[in-house]
C-alpha cells in the first residue's frame, strides 16, 4: 500500500493531500520518521571532523523533515477532527514521541558536539540568529536532561513518557465529557433566548439526532449566551454546574486522578533537573524568569481588580433586588444580570450587537486590517481538498504579488474538535518554504452565524497568531513564527484585537445582516463606552486561574493530591470573592494539564497584554494604520519570530521598555473606585 507521507506532495501550495491520507498511514510514517531522524543524528555524531556550526547545529536543525511532515498533519487532525482511531493512536504516538525526544537529548556524543560549540560561541563569528539557534539548542538539551547522570536521565525519560500519556488522556477526557453533556429543551423553555441562539441550538439538536428540539452544550459558544439570556434560573444553574463539573463526573473521563499525577510527576522531574518546583523549571526559560516576577505582576493587577469586582457584585445584587427577588447573587447569575445591567446602563445588549457581526464579514474585516497595515491580501481558493467541509482556504500574497503562504480557516464547533480556539501550522516557514497556517475556533454553526463581541475578539486574536506564522521571514524553522518564548507569543494575537473595535475598522466591516446598514456611530459609541464594563469580573476570573496554575506547580506534594484542597487554599490565599470562580477549574484546565507549554504559564496572556496595550499606544499616537509603525511592527515582531531576544525585539519596535499603565487603563482599573 502506498503511503502519501513517503512522497513529495505535488499539490497546490504543497498542501497535504487530505483526500489520499487515511488513518492507517500515520503510524508507519511516524515510525519511519523516528528512524530516519535517528539515522541523521548518527551521521552527525559519526562525522570525524571537528564540530562546526554547519555540520552539527545546522545539520540537527535540518533533520527530522519526515517526522515534521507527518506530525504537522496528525496532531492538527487529532485536535480539530479526531475520531476513536486517531485518539488511540494519539496515546501511542505521544509515548513514542516522548521516548524519541529523550533519545535525542540523551545522546551524549551529540550533546558533546553542541556543548563544544556553545562554549566557543563568542569565537565562531555567528550571525545573531545563528547565535540564538546555538544558544537555544544548547539550553534545550540541558533542559531535556543532557547534562544529568545516566540514572537521572533514565528517570527523566520515564517521567516524560508517563506525562505524555497522562496529558493526552486529560485532553481526551475533556472532549468526551463535553460531547456527552446535552440539555435538550422544547420551544416553551427558550424564554429570553434570542432567535440566533435558538437557531444555533436547533442546528446542534439536529446534529445530535434530536430533530425538532433545541440542544445546548457546555462549549463556550453554547453555554455563554444561555447564561446571558435564559430567564430560567434553575436551568442556568444546571448549565453552569455542568460546565464546572467537566472532567469531574463519576465516569471514566474523570480528571481528578490524572491531573494529580501530572502535577506530582512534573514536580519530580523539576527536582531531578535541579529546580525547587515545576514553576521554577518552566519559568527559567521564559521572559518572566521566575515565579516571583509573575506574582509581582499578578499582584499589581489583582488589588484594583478586586475593588472593581466587589462594586460590580454589589451592582448585580441591586439588580436582583430591583427585579423583586431576594436571593443572594451566585456565580451562575453573573452573566444574566450583567446583561441586564449592560442594557440598563448603556442601552446595549448582545441582541443589538450580534446582527452587525456576521462571521464572514468579521473575517473579511480582519483580512482588510492586515491589508491596510501590511499590504497583504487573502484570496479564497475553492478547489482544494481539505480535511473537513467546514474549512476554507485562502492564498496569501504580499503587496508586490509574491506568495506568502496558505491560510486555512476552521471556525465552527463540532464533536470531533476540542474546545477553545487556537492557531497551528501544517507547515512552518523557513528560508524559501512558505507556511500553511490554520486558525481554529468553536463558533456555533448556524445560518447566519452571528458573533458576540467576545467571539469577534477571538477571531481577531487567532488571526494575529496566524499573521505571526504567515509573515515569518527567518532561515531556521525552529525560530519561525510563533516559536518564541511562551510569554511573548500572545503579543501579535492580542495586539490584533485592538483593531476589531476601532470605529474606522468597524465601519468597514460591521453591517446589519438583514438591512446591510453600516453600524451607526451611536452603536459604536455605546460599544466603546461599555468596554470597561464587567472588567472587574473578567480580570478577576482570569487572574484567579493564573494563581491556580501557579498553585499547582509550586510544590503540591506527591499523589494522591486532593484537588479541592489545592483549589480552596489557592483561592483563600488571594481572597477570591464567592460570587466569582476561576475561569477554569482544575479538571478542565486544558491550558496547563494537556501539555507543558502553558503549565506555570497561564499568566502569559496578562504578561503579553502589558506588551500589546503598550504597543498599540504607538499606533494610536501615530495613526492606527500608520505605515511606519506597521512596518516597524512587521519587521521587528512578525517577521523575526524567535530569532532574537523577545525584549530586544520589542524595544526595536517600540523604542523603549513596555509600561503597565495602558493595560490598567484599557481594563478600567486605573480609578478602581468608579462604578462598574
Please list the active-site residues: 462
* Residue 333 burial class via C-beta count within 10 angstroms: exposed 0-12, middle 13-18, buried 19 and up: buried
φ/ψ (deg, to 5) at 555: 90, 75
Which DSSP letter does residue 253 get?
T
Cβ-defined contacts of 75-81 (< 8 Å, 24+):
75/424, 76/387, 76/424, 76/426, 76/438, 77/387, 79/417, 79/418, 79/422, 79/424, 79/440, 80/387, 80/388, 80/410, 80/416, 80/417, 80/418, 80/438, 80/440, 81/387, 81/388, 81/414, 81/416, 81/417
φ/ψ (deg, to 5) at 278: -65, -35
Other CB atoms within a 10 A radius of the CB of residue 42 amount to: 13
Which DSSP letter does residue 450 get?
B
φ/ψ (deg, to 5) at 115: -65, -40
The Cβ-side half-sphere exposure at 173, using a 13 Å CA radius, reads: 28
CA torsion 21→23→27→33, rounded to 10°? 20
Q: With helix as H, strand as E and coil as C, how does 100-163 read?
A: HHHHHHCCHHHHHHHHHHHHCHHHCCCCHHHHHHHHHHHHHHHHCCCCCCHHHHHHHHHHHHHH
Rounded Cα distance between 295 and 314, Å, is 28
Other CB atoms within a 10 A radius of the CB of residue 481 amount to: 31
Rounded Cα distance between 349 and 657, Å, is 38
Hey, what's the cell of 659?
509600561
φ/ψ (deg, to 5) at 430: -170, 130
Contact assessment for residue 449 and residue 620, using Cβ atoms and an 8 Å cutoff: no
Hey, what's the cell of 397?
500574497
Other CB atoms within a 10 A radius of the CB of residue 339 amount to: 20
Beta bridge partners of 216: 183
Mind giving me the DSSP string for 155-202? HHHHHHHHHHHHHHHHHHHHHHHHHH--EEE-GGG-TT--HHHHHHHH
Amino acid at each position: 500500500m502506498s503511503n502519501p507521507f513517503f512522497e513529495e506532495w505535488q499539490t497546490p501550495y504543497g498542501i497535504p493531500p487530505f483526500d489520499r491520507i487515511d488513518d492507517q498511514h500515520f503510524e508507519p510514517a511516524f515510525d519511519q520518521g523516528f528512524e530516519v531522524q535517528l539515522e541523521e543524528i548518527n551521521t552527525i555524531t559519526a562525522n570525524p571532523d571537528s564540530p562546526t556550526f554547519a555540520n552539527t547545529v545546522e545539520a540537527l536543525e535540518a533533520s527530522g523533515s519526515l517526522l515534521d511532515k507527518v506530525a504537522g498533519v496528525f496532531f492538527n487532525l487529532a485536535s480539530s477532527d479526531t475520531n476513536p482511531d486517531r485518539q488511540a493512536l494519539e496515546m501511542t504516538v505521544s509515548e513514542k514521541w516522548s521516548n524519541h525526544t529523550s533519545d535525542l537529548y540523551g545522546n551524549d556524543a551529540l550533546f558533546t558536539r553542541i556543548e563544544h560549540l556553545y562554549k566557543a560561541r563568542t569565537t565562531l563569528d555567528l550571525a545573531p540568529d545563528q547565535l540564538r539557534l546555538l544558544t537555544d539548542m544548547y539550553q534545550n538539551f540541558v533542559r531535556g536532561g543532557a547534562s544529568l547522570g545516566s540514572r537521572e536521565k533514565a528517570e527523566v525519560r520515564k517521567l516524560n513518557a508517563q506525562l505524555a500519556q497522562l496529558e493526552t488522556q486529560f485532553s481526551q477526557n475533556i472532549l468526551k465529557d463535553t460531547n456527552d453533556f446535552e440539555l435538550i429543551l422544547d420551544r416553551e423553555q427558550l424564554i429570553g433566548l434570542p432567535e440566533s441562539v435558538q437557531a444555533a441550538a436547533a442546528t446542534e439538536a439536529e446534529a445530535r439526532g434530536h430533530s425538532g428540539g433545541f440542544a445546548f452544550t457546555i462549549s463556550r459558544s453554547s453555554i455563554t449566551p444561555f447564561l446571558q439570556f435564559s430567564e430560567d434560573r434553575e436551568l442556568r444553574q444546571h448549565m453552569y454546574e455542568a460546565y464546572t463539573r467537566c472532567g469531574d463526573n463519576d465516569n471514566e473521563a474523570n480528571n481528578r486522578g490524572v491531573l494529580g499525577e501530572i502535577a506530582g510527576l512534573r514536580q519530580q522531574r523539576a527536582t531531578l533537573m535541579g529546580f525547587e518546583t515545576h514553576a521554577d523549571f518552566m519559568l527559567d526559560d521564559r521572559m518572566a524568569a521566575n515565579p516571583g516576577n509573575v506574582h509581582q505582576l499578578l499582584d499589581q493587577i489583582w488589588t484594583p481588580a478586586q475593588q472593581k469586582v466587589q462594586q460590580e457584585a454589589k451592582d448585580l445584587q441591586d439588580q436582583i433586588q430591583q427585579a423583586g427577588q431576594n436571593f443572594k447573587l451566585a456565580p451562575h447569575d453573573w452573566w444574566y444580570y450583567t446583561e441586564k445591567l449592560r442594557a440598563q446602563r448603556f442601552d446595549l445588549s448582545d441582541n443589538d450587537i450580534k446582527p452587525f457581526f456576521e462571521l464572514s464579514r468579521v473575517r473579511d474585516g480582519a483580512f482588510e486590517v492586515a491589508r491596510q497595515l501590511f499590504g497583504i491580501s487573502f484570496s479564497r481558493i475553492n478547489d482544494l481538498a481539505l480535511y473537513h467541509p467546514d474549512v476554507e482556504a485562502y492564498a496569501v500574497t504580499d503587496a508586490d504579488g509574491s506568495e506568502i503562504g496558505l491560510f486555512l480557516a476552521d471556525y465552527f464547533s463540532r464533536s470531533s474538535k476540542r474546545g477553545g480556539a487556537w492557531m497551528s501550522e501544517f507547515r512552518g516557514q523557513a528560508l524559501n518554504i512558505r507556511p500553511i497556517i490554520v486558525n481554529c475556533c468553536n463558533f456555533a454553526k448556524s445560518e447566519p452565524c452571528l458573533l458576540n463581541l467576545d467571539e469577534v475578539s477571538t477571531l481577531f486574536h487567532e488571526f494575529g497568531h496566524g499573521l505571526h506564522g504567515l509573515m515569518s521571514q527567518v532561515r531556521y524553522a525552529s525560530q519561525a513564527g510563533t516559536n518564541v518564548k511562551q510569554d511573548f507569543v500572545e503579543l501579535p494575537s492580542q495586539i490584533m484585537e485592538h483593531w476589531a473595535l476601532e470605529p474606522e475598522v468597524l465601519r468597514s466591516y460591521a453591517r446589519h445582516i438583514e438591512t446591510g446598514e453600516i453600524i451607526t456611530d451611536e452603536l459604536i459609541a455605546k460599544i466603546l463606552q461599555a468596554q470597561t464594563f464587567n472588567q472587574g469580573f473578567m480580570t478577576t476570573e482570569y487572574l484567579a486561574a493564573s494563581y491556580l496554575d501557579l498553585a499547582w506547580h509550586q510544590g503540591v506534594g506527591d499523589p494522591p493530591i486532593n484537588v479541592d484542597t489545592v483549589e480552596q487554599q489557592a483561592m483563600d490565599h488571594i481572597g477570591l470573592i464567592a460570587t466569582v470562580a476561576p475561569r477554569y477549574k482544575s479538571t478542565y484546565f486544558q491550558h496547563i494539564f494537556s501539555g507543558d507549554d502553558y503549565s506555570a504559564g497561564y499568566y502569559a496572556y496578562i504578561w503579553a497584554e502589558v506588551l500589546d496595550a503598550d504597543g498599540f499606544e504607538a499606533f494610536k499616537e501615530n495613526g492606527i494604520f500608520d505605515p511606519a509603525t506597521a512596518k516597524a511592527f512587521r519587521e521587528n515582531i512578525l517577521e523575526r519570530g524567535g530569532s532574537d531576544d523577545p525584549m530586544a525585539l520589542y524595544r526595536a519596535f517600540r523604542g523603549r521598555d513596555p509600561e503597565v499603565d495602558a493595560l490598567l487603563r484599557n481594563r478600567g482599573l486605573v480609578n478602581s473606585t468608579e462604578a462598574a
